Amino acid sequence: MKYLITIVGPTAIGKTALSIALAQHFECEIISCDSRQFFKEMTIGTAVPNKEELEAAKHHFIQNISIFENYTVGDYEKEAITKLEELFQNNDYAILVGGSGLYVDAVLKGFDEFPEIDTSVRERVAKEYEQNGITYLQQQLKEADTNYYDKLTIENPQTLQNPQRMMRFVEVCLGTGKPYSSFLNQKKNNRNFTPILIGLEADRAVIYNRINQRVEIMLSQGLLEEAHSLYPNKALNALQTVGYRELFSYFDEEFSLAFAIEEIKKNTRRFAKRQLTWFKRNENTKWFDYLTPKSEIMNFIEKNIKK
């Protein structure tokens, strides 16, 4: 039996430290599923594990691509599963860790298969979005797949503000003449491992305080300078993320620096709230307070492993 020990939870909760402790205990390697940490050019603002942490356990999918590459969650799924198959040849355990819920789901469950969409449709949707903004995409999805639009409105409203996701929904609808949701849950993805899901949580006030502290630490480490070096490429999809977007507005003289910093903290707190909402949907996750001794978490895992 192969086990994928999966650690989830909101940003700044301590997932990295726990993953390293578990990797050392089970003598295995770590697969990162933090979509912000994939990019070579982004270090401080994405809280990439430091040199000592990376040396303490073998990590995969940390700063492995460039912001200039087109890298999708589907690409990640294929590469992560291939890497896990390789790791499981010599080990019964591997660690999956990160706060990107969609990417966690990609590894644990896989995605539904969609037909190829004609390039002309994709270009037309992208052009319409460029000219008319996110409301165009929302209206198109509402008309082409009302049920899915309503579902997102209730369960995942932030997705309706995500241009990349929305363009994908709309191009599938227009390119196939069928609702996007009609392609969901059509295929079962077989996995050759058993997941053991561990969640870290804390009182909201504690999480928010840890986030505020992390932002201050990032600034002291040079986040402002890192963001400035990336500013010429601010339109890239990889850079449409909290911590950089707000500082780009400062460079554009839309925000004062003090306001930009407060916006980073506020938007990170909102992100953490969305992360918890996403991860709490999985009833198979065992939640621990972030201060729980690592030995207690290891004991729980050991009890769920069939020797």
Q: What pTM was computed for the model?
A: 0.80
Across the range 107-124, mean pLDDT stands at 83
For the chain, the residue count is 307
Question: Which residues make up each annotated binding site for ATP?
Answer: 9-16
Fold classified for 3-111+189-303: Rossmann fold (3.40.50)
Lowest-confidence pick of 109-113, 122-126, 154-158: 109-113
Contact between residue 12 and residue 207 where contact means Cβ atoms under 8 Å apart = yes
Q: Does the pLDDT at position 187 exceed 70?
A: no
The pLDDT score that the predictor gives to residue 294 is 96
Listed by start position, the domains of the chain span 3-111+189-303, 119-183
Can you tell me the mean pLDDT for 247-251? 98
Q: What is the rounded distance in angstroms from the CA atom of residue 115 to the CA atom of residue 60?
A: 30
Secondary structure element (H or E) that encloses residue 302, with its range:
helix 294-303
Mean pLDDT of the chain: 93
Q: Are the C-beta atoms of 136 and 171 separated by less than 8 Å?
A: no
How many percent of the chain have pLDDT more than 90?
78
- Edge-to-edge strands, sheet with 3-8: 59-60, 30-32, 93-97, 3-8, 194-201, 286-289
Task: Name the binding residues.
Answer: 9-16
Above 90 in pLDDT, residue 119? no
**Two tokens, residue 207:** 């999480």
Inform me whether the pLDDT recorded for 45 exceeds 90: yes
- Rounded Cα distance between 2 and 90, Å, is 10
Position 109 pLDDT exceeds 90: no
- Residue 80 to residues 37, 84, 91, 296, Cα–Cα distance (Å): 14, 6, 16, 28
Reported confidence tier of residue 237, pLDDT bands at 50, 70, 90: confident
Binding-site annotation: residue ranges for substrate? 11-16
Domain 119-183, CATH number (from 1.10.20, 3.30.460, 1.10.10, 1.10.1220) = 1.10.20
Return the top range by mean pLDDT from 13-27, 125-139, 271-285. Answer: 13-27
